[in-house]
Amino acid sequence: MSFLRKAGFTLTSALRATVMLLAVVTGVCILAMVLITCIDVVMRIFSRPIVGVYDLVYVFGAVAMACAIPYTTAVKGHVAIEYFFQKLDKKSRIIVDTFVRLLGIGLFSMLTHESARIGNNLKASGEVTATLQLPIFWVSWVIALCCALVVLVIFYNMTHPGKELVKP
Amino acid sequence: GSPDGDKVIKLSYSVFFPPTHIQCQTAEAWAQAINEQSNGRVEITVYPGGSLTKAPQVYEGVINGISDIGMSCYAYTRGRFPLLEAVDLPVGYPDGMTATNVANAIVQKYQPEEIADVHTLYVHAHGPGILASKTPVKTLADLTGLKVRATGLSSKIVQSLGGAPVGMSQPETYEALQKGVVDATLCPIETLKGWKQGEVIDYITNSQVIGYTTSMFVVMNKEKWETLPKDIKKLFTSVSAEFIEKHGQAWDDADAEGKAFVEELGKTIIPLPEEEAARWKQAVQPLLDEYVQTTTEKGLPGDKVLADIQTLLAGGEI
Amino acid sequence: MTPIQVGILGVVVLLLLLAASMPVAFAMGIIGFLGFSIIVSPQAAMSMIATDLFDTISSYSLTVIPLFVLMGQVALHAGISRKLFDAAYHWVGFLPGGMAIATVGACTGFGAICGSGPATAATMASVALPEMKRFRYSMQLATGAVAAGGGLGMLIPPSVVFICYAIMTEQSIGQLFLAGILPGILIAVIFSLTIWLQCKIDPRMGPVAPKTSLKSKLKSLLGVFETVLLFLLVMGGMFAGFFTPTEAAAIGAGGSLVVAAFRRKLTWRMLAQSLRETARTSCMVLIIVAGAVMFGHFLAVTRIPFELANWLATLPLPGWVIISFIILFFLLAGCFVDALALIMLTIPIFYPVVTGLGFDAIWFGVIIVVVTQMGVISPPVGVNVYVVSGIERDVPLQTVFKGSLPFLLALVIAAAILVAFPIISLWLPNLAR
Ligand code: NA
Ligand code: NA
């Protein structure tokens, strides 16, 4: 029993650490977007805009938002209507909550699978960004990874009612 | 006669053009023609303006069956169609009809592997992309350091002409021109009316000599295509062949309207004297060389495709 | 089942899932997937939701959201916004609901640069709500004002909705931009009256500040000196043509970091806190947008929008009744479908009808935008309400909806005024014609 608990604790810590690491990636990407755009605007005053800023902002923005999904789910940052749910008795609440979270797990499992497949397709077809021609298949893989983490986070929420994986 | 209820083939068609655009209306006319000539056995619902799949996702959306048929630009998914990139190069298309015919001829002759995952019904392409600016551009020197709205291939054209390409979406461009975030834009003259940008520029340089195009596909999901009865397949092929010319004509009409629009607004159209035109042509030559080099490295017959395009432009046959 | 029946069933099940406390974005995604599966195919549906997620996450035009939210967060954590609101308190605090009125004013100004409703609501909510709490304003009033004020950005140029409408109907973008200005101001004024009236009726909603001397008023302005400079840089730079609205967002974020550093408030801790909040807020907004897109694609293939619009267009009724029905249609449909997608799907049907009845095309564009503004704050699906409630997490969703109701009423009155007096929308464009 204590072994199982320990294993669960380790897994939870690992999940928490991964979610936080991705949140750091989000922060870095957002700062990068700010920096690149500001430099570009200043350089443009001297008619020397950086070619391909559009592509860079596109890639950084996509990675930033993808990596923020597990974090947002972990701090329970998604909006839900709690009003009717709060009126239910405890037993119904557990049933409804489990049902709703299982649907959520289903949704993000599909998104994981499909995003990975889209990524594979993009890799096979050699799609790149418009100007700098940076490959973009990996962005879809990042989205797949993040959706997979969301599945785990929702599973944690289902098995730990009333708790957040990460304190907001 | 009236069709049997369960025998009607219902197809969805995702078109990235907004519903009032002449190309979307031509697509609807195509769907209508299929419906009528099949005696109502085929019903096609058009989803305009990216309301089913957005422009860059149309092709993949057709592969995955989100829509059965789709129309969008090859260039929106850069790298996916390495051989067909040739059609979009600044080879100096005189008009949309020519560009459309060239595009179809190339697709039909080479049937490239890169588009083997869909059934291509037909393609079309807009008239020559030209330069529209807020200050007069008469020579290459006037272009030096000029901030020009361009993305993808056209940003390379701007660079090779000595300008500074600035990337932004088409909806942002109107304001960017109005406020002077950019000084010019590279687009077919039709866009000046379609996206209203003619209101906020003052000069148009007739840079037709380096006129580039953007080729657009009309493709169907392959499995769906295979399930169609033989006579319906035949009908699709014949109606599509008929519509190649209609799309080409629609592009030319749109360009004529675009030209009338800017003339009515009192904007100046600057012609390029022969000597200057040669200089512009010289300036974009490296892009053509680069295309041949990249495709050769990939083992694709880019040199032949480009030669064929130039033959077609010179009035020859391939 | 016909596609239309599937569509109606889908809406019912969506409402059930929402009531079962499923996150709004997830519920819209699930129903979008299931409905699309039934009408098209499960494989297509799966690929549709993944494509929509990818498209929303990698949308260049939505990158303004994290950038503007970061600007707001830095302003909040560096105490910049606190000083701004202190200054506002000195100047307008004596008015009943003065701070909420100032917030609507700020939303109007901010919406003018930003152009995105959810981004405006997200930024203003993170900046203004903690401040209004500090001045003991009712959260119902405060959140309602921010959610409603956030929609004003669509009406005040630059506005993407106007650009798309102009292109579809072959109208001039410049004329439409001009047409939006006076109605935008009118609605801001009506919103202010709504706040003032609520606080007159129940003074606890917006406690009145003690009167202050002119000297302390002027002194309060000193504290906001750099902020005003930053604001002038962002607004002025955009209007003078140094950068686009998207770039203005990055300049604003970078600029506020510089101001924070200048005030010696830029610490690692503060930066981390700002970035965490930015990640959560902007991701929440984007996921809601993605869910709405998935659900909207399902509704599109049910053909309900087409059929409804076609039916409305053929009704043998007087012009103003048809216009009222069209307004009602956009109000209801705006609850579920993204404004731009809705316009793409239905304008081709409505536009000939409206102009055929002799109504002005520019005026109709203004009306459409005002009505979609109602859609973003009306229950059960109101994107701006979700955004505001997601940011101010102690405030339940129904409180924000309750707070939005007076503003919804105000918008109905505004729409009635704009329908009755087309000159308000047309005066400026006519001057320029
Ligand atoms: Na705006
Ligand atoms: Na609503």
**Yes or no, beta carbons of B45 and C303 under 8 Å apart:** yes
Q: What pLDDT is recorded for position C113?
A: 63
Run of H or E including B203: strand B203-206
Average pLDDT, chain B: 92
**Yes or no, beta carbons of B48 and C48 under 8 Å apart:** no
Touching partners of A (3+ C-beta pairs < 8 Å): B, C
Residues C277-302 have a mean pLDDT of 87
Residue A164 maps to a domain: no
Residue C214 maps to a domain: yes
Q: What percent of chain B has pLDDT over 70?
A: 98
Residue A78 maps to a domain: yes
Laid out side by side, the sheet with B164-166 consists of B164-166, B147-149, B184-188, B129-133, B203-206, B268-271
Residues C116-144 have a mean pLDDT of 85
With contacts defined as CB-CB under 8 Å, which chain B residues touch A51? 155, 159, 164-165
Residues ≥6 apart with Cβ < 8 Å to B211: B90, B91, B92, B93, B94, B127, B128, B129, B130
Residue B62 · residue B118 · CB < 8 Å: yes
Of A47, A54, A133, the CB nearest to B167: A54
Residues A115-129 have a mean pLDDT of 91
Q: How many domains does chain A have?
A: 1
**Yes or no, beta carbons of B54 and C246 under 8 Å apart:** no
**Yes or no, beta carbons of A57 and C20 under 8 Å apart:** no
Q: Structural domain of residue C319, as residue ranges?
A: 63-432
Residue A82 maps to a domain: yes
User: Is pLDDT at C353 greater than 90 in this prediction?
Assistant: no
Q: What is the pLDDT of residues B94-144, one digit of tens each?
A: 999 999 999 999 999 999 999 999 999 999 999 999 999 999 999 999 998
- The closest alpha carbon to C58, from B56, A110, B71, belongs to B56
Residue B166 · residue B148 · CB < 8 Å: yes
Q: What percent of chain B has pLDDT over 90?
A: 78
Of the candidate ranges B82-86, C239-243, C299-303, the one whose mean pLDDT is the lowest: C239-243
Residue A62 · residue A139 · CB < 8 Å: yes
Q: What pLDDT is recorded for position C77?
A: 82
Residue with tokens 């609807």: B28
- The closest alpha carbon to B218, from B24, B1, B5, B21, belongs to B24
Which of B80, B159, B168 would best serve as a mutation to test chain A binding (most A beta carbons within 10 A)? Answer: B80
In this prediction the pTM is 0.85
Residue C37 maps to a domain: no
Residues ≥6 apart with Cβ < 8 Å to A115: A140, A141, A143, A144, A147, C50, C53, C54
d(CA A110, CA A108): 5
DSSP B82: T
Residue C34 maps to a domain: no
Q: Is the peptide bond before C380 cis (omega within 30 degrees of 0)?
A: yes
Q: What is the pLDDT of residues C103-112, one digit of tens each?
A: 888 887 777 6
**Yes or no, beta carbons of A41 and C286 under 8 Å apart:** no
Residue C246 maps to a domain: yes
Please provide residue B70's backbone torsions phi and psi, each rounded to the nearest 5 degrees: -150, 145
With contacts defined as CB-CB under 8 Å, which chain C residues touch B6? none
> Residue C232, class by beta-carbon neighbours within 10 Å (0-12 exposed, 13-18 middle, 19+ buried)?
exposed
Touching partners of C (3+ C-beta pairs < 8 Å): A, B
> In chain B, which among 4-23 make CB contacts under 8 A with chain C?
12, 18-20
- Taking CA atoms, what residue in A is nearest to C49? A111
Residue C164 maps to a domain: yes
- CA C1 to chain A, closest CA, distance in angstroms equals 24
Residue A167 maps to a domain: no
Put simply, whether B55 touches A (Cβ < 8 Å) is no
Residues A31-50 have a mean pLDDT of 87
Q: Please indicate whether residue C69 or residue B258 has the higher confidence score (pLDDT).
A: B258
Residue A166 maps to a domain: no
Put simply, whether B66 touches A (Cβ < 8 Å) is no
d(CA A107, CA C30): 6
Residue A31 maps to a domain: yes
Please provide residue B7's backbone torsions phi and psi, each rounded to the nearest 5 degrees: -95, -5
With contacts defined as CB-CB under 8 Å, which chain C residues touch B54? 55
Residue C423 maps to a domain: yes
- CA B231 to chain A, closest CA, distance in angstroms equals 33
Touching partners of B (3+ C-beta pairs < 8 Å): A, C
User: Is pLDDT at C165 greater than 90 in this prediction?
Assistant: no
Of the candidate ranges A12-21, A54-63, C316-325, the one whose mean pLDDT is the lowest: C316-325
Q: What pLDDT is recorded for position B3?
A: 45
Could you give the 3-state DSSP secondary structure of residue A52? coil
Of the candidate ranges B181-190, C257-266, C381-390, the one whose mean pLDDT is the lowest: C381-390
Chain centroid offset of residue C264 CA: 34
Q: B71 forms bridges with which residues in the sheet?
A: B15, B218
Residue C90 maps to a domain: yes
Q: How many domains does chain C have?
A: 1
User: Is pLDDT at C377 greater than 50 in this prediction?
Assistant: yes
Residue A110 maps to a domain: yes
Q: B45 forms bridges with which residues in the sheet?
A: B12
With contacts defined as CB-CB under 8 Å, which chain C residues touch B179? 238-241
Q: What pLDDT is recorded for position C112?
A: 67
Residue A168 maps to a domain: no
Q: What pLDDT is recorded for position C430?
A: 87
User: β-pairing, B215-221 with B164-166?
Assistant: unpaired
